[in-house]
Amino acid sequence: AIQTLRERLRGEVFGALERVHASSTIERASCRISYVDWVVASIVERVPVPPGFESTALARALVVAEDRRFWSHYGVDPLAVARALAATAGGSRQGGSTLVQQLVRHVLGWYEVTAQRKASEIIVAIALSRRWERRTLLWVSALLSYVGITAHQGTLGSLHGRFATMDEHEAADFA
């Protein structure tokens, strides 16, 4: 019941932002950027990035499994996008989303496969990458992947130490 209430409230707040402030595509993108930025800020405020998180087994496993060029791109990996487009043109499907794009999709609850959604996701991912340190985005991605966006603060807090102590095998299973 609490999760349903949170999801409804999140949807109402986000929907109201888009209805009130968004009369153009650029304004809608701005609302989405502001919302995702707010979610990232609120998570980091509740559960700060642990010192050295980026060198933990979990962080390394996430990068290897999901986004090998995480540390070098600007939120979107053009090589991965090109590879995914080529695969799609050839009749198969491959993922080309970075960890930051996956974070955006998860926060906004966007899972439909459309060019418009992908374009908006790219815009928001680039904006987030400009606003936040990579280690912060990696931390928030790990938290949201593990517990979801509606997690209680206590759950997030307990993971703070858990993620730092995962060994290589646990991290690989998680990623």
The answer to whether 141 and 128 have CB atoms below 8 angstroms apart is no
Q: Supply φ then ψ for residue 156, to 5 degrees.
A: -60, -40
Query: Tokens 């109201």, residue?
Result: 16
Residue 10 has pLDDT above 80, yes or no: no
pTM reported for the whole predicted model: 0.72
pLDDT of residue 166: 63
pLDDT of residue 11: 60
What would the DSSP string read from start to end of 88-157? HHTT-------HHHHHHHHHHT-----HHHHHHHHHHHHHHHHHS-HHHHHHHHHHHHHH-TT--HHHHH
> H/E element holding 175?
none
In the chain the first and final C-alpha atoms are separated, in Å, by 29
Torsion of CA 131, 106, 29, 97, to 10 degrees: 80
The answer to whether 156 and 146 have CB atoms below 8 angstroms apart is no
Q: In 10 A of CB 13, how many CB atoms?
A: 12
Residue 125's pLDDT band (boundaries 50, 70, 90)?
A: very high
The answer to whether 22 and 132 have CB atoms below 8 angstroms apart is no
What are the structure tokens assigned to 129, written together? 């990458």
Express each pLDDT in 53-84 by its tens digit.
Answer: 888 888 888 888 888 999 999 999 988 888 88
- Higher pLDDT pick, 14 / 90: 90
Query: How far is 162 from 174, CA to CA, in rounded Å?
Result: 12
